[in-house]
Structure 1
Amino acid sequence: MKTIESTKSGISKKPALVLVVLLSVLASCTSTTVDEFRQGETGIENDESVVILGRRQASDYETRAEFVDCVGDRMTQGANAISIIPEQEFVDAMFPWFEPRTAPLRTQDLEKLMAEQVVADKMDEFGVRYIVWLDGFTETTDRSGSISCTVGPGGAGCFGFGSWEDDANFDARVWDVGTFSNVGTISTDATGQSYVPALIIPIPLIARVEANACSRLADQLKGFVNGG
């Protein structure tokens, strides 16, 4: 009898296992598009650097520092790696000119700012060739389903199903510090569906939307700055 019961239990678990595997494959599928609009020639020398800054002037959202760091870290890796100045280090050294309320919004504002000798000296000290302004956020939409958990004499368990869609949308504007011009814009949009099936234990299957947006945007930016 024990052998028969064990076999039946294994068969009953197969549909649930297939469902989890199928959902994990779907969650790993993230659609990412990258658009590049070039407005000027680019290139960078070995002794020059790039600083990536997040836009935080909007009233309803801020570009997350973690995403800014992710893009910067990836641009320092692999072939044609670029020297990246950490955002917080740059903002602290340039205080108060690049705080959210005082940061230049246009290249004309940057030109006026660079007329301040102390600002120009700091820029030279860092070796800044390009300022990249990142602006965007990740939005969660289309939540559906529900999961309920219970505790009883026989133990605890959760049952149900939940899903949602994440959409990461970011723009990167590249300013040439030498010419005080906007040399281009790169936009990335990544979408993906996440799932949480719960059969006694919730199993989150999360789409890596923001991570994919970071890697694609960083790779495109690296090629753009290098003149590719």
Structure 2
Amino acid sequence: MIQISLPRVCGALLLSVLASACTTINVDQVRLRDNVELNQGDAMVVLGRHQTAEVQTESSLIACIGNKLARGTDRVRIIGEPEFVDAFYPWFEARTAPLRPAKLKQVLDQPLVAAKIEAMKIRYFVWVEGSTERTDGAGSMSCSIGPGGGGCFGFSTWEDTSDYETTIWDIASFTEVGRVSTEAVGTSYMPAFVIPIPFLAQVQGDACEGMGSQLVRFFSQTDETELNMRAN
């Protein structure tokens, strides 16, 4: 008779599950202008769309993208969403934020708003729209408590999908200069052998990493173009 150690089997299974929890990500970029001008001291604001109950881009993702841009671009100062919205209340609240560059121009026709924009040297608006949702799930788990103790047994899995699109506006010309879209799909697992242990796919974090890196590349290409032009 062959004896199998339950803790050893459980440990091997947990390691296998941990290795399997992963995310697949696709990032697309569209440049609507070949040269995106950047000047030393320019500022950029990163904002999320929150105009309806269905459209609520997570503030954590907005902050993550802003941090990624701040670390990756040395010419541009990044202004966070809370700071910007508070400074320009009520023009950029959820229900009043402009949805098109032409509408933004109308907002900036207000002398006080225009003066603040100029004082903060804001050149670009980066709008992020989308969300992370649970799209599928399977498995089962049961938990019980008895005189000798309790525990949970079973196995469950679920899939999360992050779908975001970023639109970049240049307020010098009130035009859209580019878009970056990201879709990340990840599968998470939760095996339970007395204690449930979740292995989570970091879907939103991976979406931020992919989108943030692409945005940094979007603006860095301008520097490369300028260097090539000077060299020629």
For normalisation by structure 2, the TM-score amounts to 0.89
Residue 4 (structure 1) aligns with: none
1:48 to 42, 49, 61: 42
Deviation of the 1:45 alpha carbon: 2.0
2:18 corresponding residue in structure 1: 24
Percent of pairs with identical residues: 40
Could you report, residue by residue, the CA deviation over 1:135-178 in whole angstroms, capped at 9, with x for unpaired residues? 00001021111211111122111101111000001000000011
Report the counterpart of residue 27 of structure 2 in structure 1: 34
The total of aligned residue pairs comes to: 220
Q: Is 2:99 aligned against 1:105?
A: yes
- Describe how 1:158-177 pairs up with structure 2 within 5 A: 158-177=152-171
Residue 102 of structure 1: how far off its partner (Å): 1.2
List gaps (5 residues or longer) in structure 1.
1-6
Partner SS state of residue 77, structure 1: helix
Q: Output the aligned Cα RMSD.
A: 1.7
- Contact 2:48–2:57 (CA under 8 A) maintained in structure 1: yes
Misfit runs of 4+, over 6 Å: none
| Secondary structure of the structure 2 residue equivalent to 1:76 | helix
Pairwise mapping of residues 1-228 of structure 1 onto structure 2 (< 5 A)? 8=3, 11-27=5-21, 29-40=22-33, 41-78=35-72, 80=74, 82-228=76-222
Higher mean Cα deviation, 117-126 or 193-202? 117-126
> Post-superposition shift, 1:202?
0.4
Task: Summarize deviations over 1:51-101 as a string: whole Å, max 9, x none.
Answer: 011011234230111110111012111564742101111111111111111
Indicate the SS of the match to 1:73. helix
Runs of at least 5 residues in structure 2 that lack an aligned partner in the other structure: 223-232
